[in-house]
Amino acid sequence: MNDFDWAAMADLLELEGEAHSPYVRQAFEELGHLTPRRILDVGSGPGVAACRLAAAFPQAEVTAVDGTPELLARAEERAARLGVRLRTRVAEFPAGLAGLGPADLVWSGQVVHHVGDQQGALDRLAGLLAPGGVLAIVEGGLQERRLPRDLGFGRPGLEARVDAAMAARFARMRDGLPDSVAVVEDWPGMLRAAGLTDVRSRTFLVDRPAPLAEEHRRFVRRSLERQRTGLGEFLDAEDLTTLDRLLDPAAPEGVDRRADLFLLTAKTVHFGRRPGH
């Protein structure tokens, strides 16, 4: 897909999958009327959603598909630990998808925006579907909120400025992707352009109030650490100092000890069906 070191992000990806699990559960409830025989999770990472698919559809053959073998090894370990049946397949996205289908359900969570030609990637995902099969992609929603507007130090509104910095970094990432194609990111329209029908979108809430469980607090820390590393050139010195203070394990006002730390976000899932029986 690009030059992200996904294997190095394995711990963060697993923590994120667990922290964001409420939206995945709600999205799978939207698919509960289906009786799929074959399911693909494309861009599965360490398999958090894939294992939930295997639990939700125990009659189905579920395959986690990813370009990073180290992440698929994590998925296999998770499946064994949870006692669910899961296959894995190493394949680059989107170039390596040929021959993976047909599938009755294809899930792809926050993957398409990492490739230059997003419409082309959706076309390939839609091409994996059997007649009547459903594609569900996760793209868009609302940025995470984790902290009060006023932290008691630094300038209020840190997270809004982090959002702006993330948007600037994301735009640079997309501009640098091979074969990058500008497109209006109308995801339902793009699914229709890929030949799918019955297209609809739903947005699901993740609301974990304070005080956060320890595993979700670890996710917030790892996420903020990644932002501190990646946004150094996009934030001013005062905001970087504030992030350093938040990440100081000895600071009583840091994320490891704050009683007011929470996690609030929303994820949008877009569904479409391949015409047929």
Task: Summarize pLDDT for 12-46 with one digit per residue, the tens.
Answer: 999 999 999 999 999 999 999 999 999 999 999 99
Please check whether residue 2 lies inside any domain of the structure.
no
Q: Above pLDDT 90, what percent of the chain?
A: 94
Is the residue at 77 inside a domain? Answer: yes
Residue found under tokens 């735009």: 171
Q: For the domain that residue 77 is a member of, what is the CATH number?
A: 3.40.50.150
Give the model's pLDDT for residue 3.
54
Place 118 in a pLDDT band, splitting at 50, 70 and 90. very high
pLDDT at 2 over 80: no
Residue 1 lies in a domain: no
Model confidence at 268, pLDDT cuts 50, 70, 90, reads very high
The phi and psi torsions of 249 (rounded to 5 degrees) equal: -65, -20
In a domain, 156, yes or no: yes
133 found inside a domain: yes
pLDDT digits (tens, 9 = 90+) for 72-107: 999 999 999 999 999 999 999 999 999 898 999 999
How many domains, in total, are found in the chain?
Answer: 1
For 206, the domain range is: 7-273
Please say if the pLDDT value at position 228 is more than 60. yes
Give the C-alpha separation, 44 to 199, whole Å. Answer: 23
Rounded to whole angstroms, the Cα distance separating 235 from 20 reads: 26
Residues 170-190: pLDDT tens digits?
A: 999 999 998 899 999 999 999
The helix or strand, by DSSP H or E, that contains position 206, with its residue range, turns out to be: strand 197-208
Structure tokens at 85: 């049946």
Place of tokens 């320890």: 214
Q: Quick one: pLDDT at residue 101?
A: 84
